Structure 1
């Protein structure tokens, strides 16, 4: 990691704490999770999960 740049993210503190609570038993930290996500984005050439607007019937519309 000789030329690894530092990246800053703004996160909701409560969300970050909850995520870290889940990740700790998995032996993952925020850097590892972001790296996993970005590698999957590159591999899939997009988000590695479906993104939808939701179910109108479920949302009550």
Structure 2
């Protein structure tokens, strides 16, 4: 990947550590996981999951 730009993200350190514990056994690093997510955003032309509000009952409102 020639001329790949560097991107900086600010993440909660605890969230990053927890995510890495999940990603590493999958053979992924943060760059790979973000790339997969962004490719899914492009493919779906939006977020690759539903976003709903939850009223606390577990049911979307």
List 4+ stretches of structure 1 deviating above 2 A.
Answer: none
Give the number of equivalent residue pairs.
58
2:39 matches 1:39? yes
State the TM-score, normalized to the length of structure 1: 0.88
Map of 2:25 onto structure 1: 25
The alpha carbon displacement at 1:57 in A equals 5.6
Higher helix share: 1
TM-score normalised by the chain length of structure 2: 0.88
**Considering only aligned residues, what root-mean-square deviation do their CA atoms show, in Å?**
1.3
- CA deviations 1:4-60 (Å, max 9, x no partner) are 000000000011001001111000000000000000000000000000112x2617x
Structure 2, unpaired ranges of 5+: none
